[in-house]
A and B are shown apart, each in its own frame.
Chain A
Amino acid sequence: MYLPCGVFNQDYQQEISVLRHREHWVLAAFIALVLVSIVVLANNYILSLANLIGITLISAMGLQILTGFAGQLSIAQAAFMAIGAYASAVLTDDYGFSYWLALPGAALITGCAGILFGWPSLRIKGFYLIMATFAAQIIIMYFISKVFIGLTGGTGGHMASPPDFFGHSIETDRDWFILIMSILILCNFFLVNIKRTKMGRAFVAIRDNDLAAEVTGLNLAAYKLAAFFLCCVYAGAAGSLYAHWHQVVFPEAFTLDKSMFYLGYLIVGGLGSIPGVYFGVILIILLQEFLVVAIGSLGSMYPNATNFIAPAQNIIFGLVIVLFLIFEPRGLAHRWEIFKTYYRTWPFPYVATHK
């Protein structure tokens, strides 16, 4: 963990604490305030957007482990989410499992699928691995929509009943917001800890130079498969939340372009950075939503120009992403680091006021 100048860890408790110094506590309090404000003040539309962002964040965190930390490229994240979504829907609605068992169950099932589809990563890497995960996306969605239709309902979709929490059915967007944010916080906590464990450091070593990592005695196969497993556990949990939040699951929700977007979230936010996941997901989802609303409003103002206005949504979105990549290729997380550094040292070279 990066610490401000002048702050030193003097015991193990300080070393392992997640909220280590004042800025961390201020940020945590601010986030808590925002979350509570959303619960109290937001309408279903805002809550629904926040829920979508929360679920996307959980899945993107998984991909950050695999791609950002371990350097294994994947474009099958949406398909892995689909496994979790369908597993959870089938476990609850067809086999009568409680959602609170189905959620971790779906995550584990997806994790196991991740090991299976991560197997090629032991032999191939880079663009070849992208092609292997592309195949995974196709195969998984084919099996879901064509082969296991007795189980999944095929293109007709599968119902996913809302969970029950001590007699209270979790159905409203507000209920879901609380549940999704709770799980997001847990996932974030695990992610922070994964990054600084021996395993996390091994992932980074493999990403930076796999040959050197192997020479130092790391078991590449085990760590690569572990990265796939963890990535898919996150994707499975996100898929499960997605299915039961909508109360129905369809193959169309897990297309290849969705998987591509997951990689895009990390590139825009910052590969290998935990805040980067948040920046990338929030920026892209809000930008897309803003464009839908703004272009829709322009269409209402000028109904006769609808045909000309509609493509602007894609053009502006593409332009923003391209410009962003040109001017900040290291992602928003890097910009955030610059911002923090500036204010930490302003107006002096550095401050040493607190531990």
Chain B
Amino acid sequence: MKTKHFSRNLVKVLLWGLALGLVLSFSTTAVAEEKVFKIGSLCDQTGPMSAATAPFLQGQRAYQRYVNEELGGIEGVKVELIAADCQYQVDKEIAAFKKFVDVDKVLFFFNLNSSGTAAMAPMAKRIGIGHMYLDEPLAVFLEGGWYFGIVPIWGETGGAAFEWWLENVWRKKEQRAPNVGLLTIDNQAGYSVAIYFREYLKNKKIPIVVDMHTPPQLADASTYVDALRKAEADVLVTGTTPGADVVIYKTLHALGLSMDRIQSIPFFLASAGLRKAVGQGGVGTLMGNVTSGAHEADVPAIKLFNELWEKWYPGQAKPEMPFFIGWNEMDVVCEALRRAMKKVGYEGLTKDIKKGRKILKETLENDMRGYTGQGMFAPITYTPTDHKANSQVKVTRFAPDGSLEVLTDWLAPPPLKDYQRDVKWWRDQLKK
């Protein structure tokens, strides 16, 4: 009897909790009716990729806080960031995207994950709403698209690091072309890296001696390491998950195989926890960092950020690259909103939301030439026909003490050929 009573009460508490959540969600919507710019964010706060991707939203939220609390909004208008945790599920992303468009009436939104971005780019184009994420080739090269990249294509990051390595490390000890081992994750992000590197190295007449895809969860890297050893690879280029990186690098180290390493999806190693996990096995790894890091105190944006961080979270560890990518996304869009507002005012951007979205897109295309966020990222220049952010990175090395050592200023790999700026070319490569 007592158990039944308790169970009933438990159900009641649960139902009240749900009802409270509903009320709170409606009350938030009511608050959102104030004078605000609404921006949507598809994010993975939970789910299989959340460890790597949750910091994106944290960075976006931190920038929102900076704008609203420190600057008093954009020309006095607060920014509301509406997030939807999609748990790496395309269905949830598409449902949230439609909610952003029709219910929340956001001006712009941020994507998350390559497949979802590629699936949504044609829909966003049809509806007429701008969106942003990493430089996903199937979206950023979509003709007439509304998608904007924020960093170089994964591959260009490694390409820039490879260029630096070739000139400053390899050529100093060898004159022959190096044998390259290429290990990339078995998903779209990994394929982007593989496609980029195959073409890049073909043009440089450098042989790829191992070209393999790794599963997202890699427990044993011996097959891959054995292939690298047999093929006598001189340098390993990876574009894999954080876990796979750790396993591969640790295995290489344990077997005493000394080969130079370049990480082409750099935010996987841009985490103190992962660097600690990989230990000595990761020391010396090169990567192309797409943002300035919290340790670069001479960069004006970083100086400001560090001050804010100390004020907000005194004594807490500073965030790393994925966080700053989220921060940068918000920075670029808020700056575009500020510039658009100067032209058409708040009403011009929000009265007719479709018109507002178009004005914001055109502002990004026409008024954001060479924007760097005070040195936070390489100069971004969008045009009406080119929504690719840039291709420059800071080549960074994993130092023996576990820190990241910045080796260069912004550096770019050879520019993409015209045929590579075409969705069809990328699709054809994906079919090979």
Contacts and interface: CB of A to CB of B under 8 A. Distances in A.
A311 interface: yes
Nearest to B190: A155
Contact of B102 (A43, A150, A304): A43
A292 B430 contact: no
B51 to A, nearest CB: 12
B198 interface: no
A327 B54 contact: no
A98 interface: no
Given A155-B430, A156-B138, A306-B58, A246 B119 contact: yes
B10 interface: yes
Contacts of B54: 307, 310
Given A45-B98, A294-B25, A307-B54, A157 B103 contact: no
Given A250-B115, A253-B91, A303 B81 contact: yes
A252 B94 contact: no
B29 interface: yes
A303 B61 CA distance: 6
B209 interface: no
Given A149-B431, A246-B94, A306-B83, A156 B188 contact: yes
Q: Secondary structure at chain B's binding surface: helix, strand, loop or mixed?
A: helix
Interface string B1-21: 000000100110010011001
B29 A45 contact: no
Nearest to B127: A44
B46 to A, nearest CB: 5
Contacts of A299: 45, 83
A49 B115 contact: no
A296 B45 CA distance: 10
A248 B118 contact: yes
Contacts of B390: none
B301 interface: no
A295 B85 contact: yes
Contacts of A157: 115, 118-119, 138
Interface residues of B, number: 60
Given A155-B188, A303-B65, A293 B99 contact: yes
Interface string A267-296: 000000000000000000000111111111
Contacts of B359: none
B426 interface: yes
A323 interface: yes
Residue of B64, B116, B427 ringed by the most chain A CB atoms within 10 A: B427
B57 A44 contact: no
A266 to B, nearest CB: 19
Contacts of A156: 118, 138, 188, 191, 426-427, 430-431
B243 interface: no
Interface in A35-59: 43-45, 48-49, 52
A44 B188 contact: no
Interface in A309-337: 310-311, 313-314, 316, 319-320, 323, 326-327
A305 to B, nearest CB: 10
Interface string A16-41: 00000000000000000000000000
A299 B46 CA distance: 13
A294 B115 contact: no
A328 to B, nearest CB: 11
Contacts of A297: 24-25, 28-29, 82
B95 interface: yes
Interface in B85-121: 85-86, 88-92, 94-96, 98-99, 101-103, 113, 115-116, 118-119
Nearest to B137: A156
B22 interface: yes
A351 to B, nearest CB: 31
Interface of A is mostly: helix
B80 interface: yes
B187 interface: yes
Nearest to B60: A303
Contacts of B96: 292
Nearest to B189: A155
B84 interface: yes
Q: Which of B89, B191, B430, B431 has the most CB of A within 10 A?
A: B431
Interface string A225-267: 0000000000000000000001110111101000000000000
Interface in B389-427: 426-427
Contacts of B432: 149
Contact of B46 (A43, A153, A311): A311
Contacts of B11: 323, 327
A327 B80 CA distance: 40
A253 to B, nearest CB: 5
A181 B31 CA distance: 36
A298 B430 CA distance: 40
Contacts of B115: 155, 157, 250-252
Contact of B25 (A250, A293, A306): A293
A252 B46 contact: no
Contact of B83 (A149, A252, A288, A300): A300
A296 B82 contact: yes
A154 interface: yes
B122 interface: yes
Contacts of A288: 92
Nearest to A56: B91
B22 A298 contact: no
Contacts of A291: 21
Contact of A296 (B46, B85, B119, B123): B85
Contacts of A327: 7, 11
B28 A289 contact: no
B408 to A, nearest CB: 32
Given A48-B98, A307-B54, 8 more contacts: A155-B187, A247-B123, A292-B95, A294-B25, A300-B28, A303-B65, A313-B45, A316-B17
The 6 closest A-B pairs by CB, nearest first: A310-B45, A156-B430, A297-B25, A294-B21, A297-B28, A43-B102
Interface of A: 43-45, 48-49, 52, 146, 149-150, 153-157, 171, 173, 246-248, 250-253, 255, 288-301, 303-304, 306-307, 310-311, 313-314, 316, 319-320, 323, 326-327
15 contacts: A44-B98, A45-B99, A45-B101, A154-B191, A156-B430, A157-B118, A248-B118, A292-B96, A293-B99, A294-B21, A296-B83, A298-B25, A303-B61, A303-B64, A310-B45
